[in-house]
Homo-oligomer: A and B are copies of this chain.
Amino acid sequence: MSAKSIAVAGATGLVGGQMLKVLEDRDFPIKSLKLLASERSKGRTLTFKGESIPVEVLTEDAFDGVDIALFSAGGGTSKRFAPAAAERGCVVVDNSSAWRMDPEVPLVVPEVNPHAVKQHKGIIANPNCSTIQMVVVLKPLHDAAAIKRVVVSTYQAVSGAGIKAVDELMEQSRAVLDGQSIRKEVFPHQIAFNCLPQIPQSNAFVDNGYSTEEMKMVNETKKIMGDDAIRVTSTTVRVPVHTGHSESVNVETERKLSAHEAREILGKAPGVTVQDDLANEVYPLATEAHGKYDTFVGRIREDISHPSALDMWIVSDNLLKGAAWNTVQIAELL
C-alpha cells in the first residue's frame, strides 16, 4: 500500500486516541496526518510517533487532499461532515451509527465481509462495538452450520460511553467505598457496583421495547453477515467494567455442531482466539482482553435445552476491535 494522507476526526476522544495508537502500532503507511476535533479542542496537541501534532478544527475544507478519514466524532458530526469529505475525494471510515443502515453504505467487519468495502461511494461504516465482536465469532459458525437464531445478553464496559463515563464509574466507585453519596451525570442511574439494562444513556428505547443498542445488534448482524434470515434478540446491559465487552451468546444452527467441532472451527477463524480450558479456569475476561486486537471466545458448550444450539462467552476490547482497530483494518483494506 502506498503512503496515504490520513485525517482522524474526533482525535481527542477515547476512540480517537485508540485510533492513533493503532495507526502507530500497525505502522500504517502515512504520508501526512491531520488531527481534527471540535472548536473545544483548539490549541491542543497530540503526540504521534514521538511527534507533536496540533489539533485542527473540523471543517469541510479540512478534508482537501486527504485520502482516508477515520471518523469517531458522534453521529451528528458524521452526518454533516462525512458527505463533504467524500465529495472532496476522501474515503470516510465512520465509527458512528449515522450511516450504518444506509443501503448505499457498506458496513464492514474485515474478517466477515471484506468484499463489501469495494461497493463504497465515499463512506464506509464501522459497526457497533457489541455487534463486531459477536459477528467475528458467528461468521465461521454460520458458514459451517447456518445460524437460525441468536439470543445474546451483553455485559458492556463504560468506556463505550466515552471518557466522562469512565470518570463517572471511577468517581462513583470511590464514593461508595468511602461511604459517601454518589454524583451522576452520564448514566441515568448509579453505575458503580450495579448493572444498568439501558444503553445508550438517553433516548435509549424504541417502540417495541428494545433499546437502540439492542436493535443495532439485531439489524447490523443481518447486514454484515449478508443474511436477513438470521434472527437475533438482544438484551444490552452496562456493567461496572472499564474496558472490554463480554457477551453471553446462545446460537441455534440449522445443522447441529458439537462443542468440539465449534472449538475447532473457531480455532482457525481469523481474529478469534479460543480460551476454553475449564479445568484450569481459563475463559475470556474483560480485564485480559483490554488492549488486545483479537476477539476471545470460551465457555463453548452444547445447549442442553435445544437439539441444535451452542452457548458461548465472547469478549473483546470495545475500543479496539469494537472501534479503533476495526476502523484501521478497514483503512488497510483500502
A→B interface (CB under 8 Å): 149-151, 153, 155, 169-170, 173-174, 177, 188-190, 193-198, 204-205, 208-210, 218, 231-233, 235, 237, 239-242, 246, 248, 250, 259, 278-279, 281, 283-287, 298-306, 309, 311, 313
Contacts and interface: CB of A to CB of B under 8 A. Distances in A.
A156 to B, nearest CB: 10
Dominant secondary structure of chain A at its interface with chain B: mixed
Contacts of A193: 169, 240-242, 286-287
Given A194-B287, A246-B197, A304 B233 contact: yes
A128 to B, nearest CB: 17
Contacts of A233: 250, 303-306, 309, 311
14 contacts: A149-B305, A150-B305, A151-B250, A155-B237, A188-B281, A195-B239, A197-B284, A197-B298, A205-B278, A208-B302, A218-B305, A231-B306, A235-B313, A250-B250
A242 B305 CA distance: 31
Contact of A209 (B204, B209, B241, B278): B278
A235 B155 contact: no
A301 to B, nearest CB: 3
Contact of A208 (B150, B287, B304): B304
A259 B209 contact: yes
